[in-house]
A and B are shown apart, each in its own frame.
Chain A
Amino acid sequence: MTLRELLSEIATPDRQADRVVPPSGHTAWLTGFTAGTMAFLAVFALALSLAAGRLADRWGEALERTATIRISAPEEQMELQTRAVLDLLATTPGVASARALTDAEEHALLEPWFGSDLPLDTLPIPRLIELQEEGEGYDAQGLRQRLAAEAPGAVLDDHLRWRQPLAIAASRLRLLGGVSILLILASTAAMITLAAHASLAANAKVIGVLRLVGARDIYIARAFVRRFTLRALTGAAVGTGAGLLAVALLPSADAAGGFLTGLGFQGAGWLLPLLLPPVAAVTAFLATRAAAFRKLKELT
């Protein structure tokens, strides 16, 4: 079946075929409710997946092209080793720039842990040098060897050990979001299949009469399929709307925002959930159609 035929079958009403199946209360309610609930959850799964994606990108971009050199040396040698490291970096291929963090910047980094009233000036704080990569990047192994020779107190931290677990965690979260959406779709299909089976079984007499007068399976199935598809579409539309509203009401991301406040949609991302109702409808269509033909064979 092509997409065009599928859309035509959903969109083209056959009033006679629609009327032959009596309205059934509990399966209608169940289908609409299931589709609505699942769409609501899918909005959050989608938001989680997109937020995880953004987080992974942000961490990657922020950490991927930078590195830090930490110099721990006696006070009298600190300035000398700092100068030596900066000179060395200036001649290292793949390093775009390097600069030593000022005392104020270092204090600002430590402030969250030690507070503002600690006498940081009296503590032996290592000097930090931030470097920016360029092109293919620098040779970390070679740089470490040169640092050991020129400035024994200098240690290169290329952020790899921080970046990798964070990037893996973020990509796992993104994957989890995608898997959740697939599971939600599968659950929707399973619930609608059950509801369609129940409806077909409850209407065995109707099916018998239709067969008696020469109705083909496709005619009988269509009467059920279209009904379930439209219920799923309506339920999912309501669930998606509710989900979007709930996401919109989450606290907005700000400069100090962590991961949770960034859970939401940005820009064109707000349009993605609008795909959920049609996807739910197509899922319901395929699930009901398969269930209908299977059940009709059983009811021979």
Chain B
Amino acid sequence: MIAFDNVAYSYGGGELLSEISLRLTPGSFHFLTGPSGSGKSTFLKLCYAELLPTAGSVTIFDREVRSLGRDEVARMRRRVGVVHQDCQFLDHLPLAANVTLPLAVTGRETNAQDLADLMAWVGLGQLADALPPALSGGERQRAAVARAIITSPDVLLADEPTGNLDWEMSLRLLKLLVELNRMGTTILVATHDLNLIRNAKQQVAARVLRISNRRIQLAGADL
């Protein structure tokens, strides 16, 4: 589904990621850990062609990313749900419009009941008309998750999705991710939260990747 072949990424003269080769197979569940600034967000961005590798090749849905035209990148992203660390909303639009944005840009209608169910599930049922700047960090993060999954993507990439959530909401989010994974969605979550990873491993066969010294390695059983 997503494959890295000897990928490197350099920025500002320094190499941030190096010699990365791995394969995210359909239906897999991965966590990505590593210290701050180790390149977790960069790795995720390489997974949906926000960044292009400076060496090696990244293949998404069997297409090498450099060969994708602009429209093809857009179509590829419709199959990839992304939860950004900073959420990235259109601040002038109500929350409901932000959550349904992935449907709107493809001209698809929103089922009002499905939207209401989704908003209620992430605990934002009463905030559909609120503007993003009025929300707390946790509420924004839950809305970002709702937006990422509204199109039932093949792959869900989440960058610190529980960073602003309390433990209870983190577990609810984890449960959602596990359910999505059981339905066949490939999941990759970048997180610092080792408790979340331990909890997930009790529910799903999640693999843990760790970025260390610019390279990715499979984390040991200590997690």
Contacts and interface: CB of A to CB of B under 8 A. Distances in A.
Interface string B91-125: 11100010001101110000000000000000000
B219 to A, nearest CB: 28
Nearest to A208: B88
Nearest to B148: A213
A215 B74 contact: yes
B36 to A, nearest CB: 22
A41 B147 CA distance: 49
Contacts, number: 58
A216 to B, nearest CB: 4
A212 B92 contact: no
Contacts of B142: none
A219 B104 CA distance: 10
Interface stretch (A14-22, A148-156, A186-194, A262-270): A14-22
A217 B93 CA distance: 20
A210 B105 contact: yes
Interface string A127-155: 00000000000000000000000000000
A19 B71 CA distance: 22
Interface residues of A, number: 22
B71 A214 contact: no
B108 to A, nearest CB: 10
A297 B59 CA distance: 22
Interface residues of B, number: 23
B104 A214 contact: no
Of A16, A17, A23, A212, which is in contact with the most chain B CB atoms at under 10 Å from its CB? A212
Given A16-B104, A20-B101, A209-B88, A214 B75 contact: yes
A217 B105 CA distance: 10
A120 interface: no
B70 A213 contact: no
Contacts of B84: 212
Nearest to A296: B70
Contact of B77 (A213, A218, A297): A213
B126 to A, nearest CB: 22
Interface of B: 50, 70-71, 74-78, 82, 84, 88-93, 97, 101-102, 104-106, 147
8 shortest A-B CB distances, which residue pairs? Answer: A214-B78, A215-B105, A214-B77, A213-B102, A16-B104, A22-B92, A216-B74, A209-B88
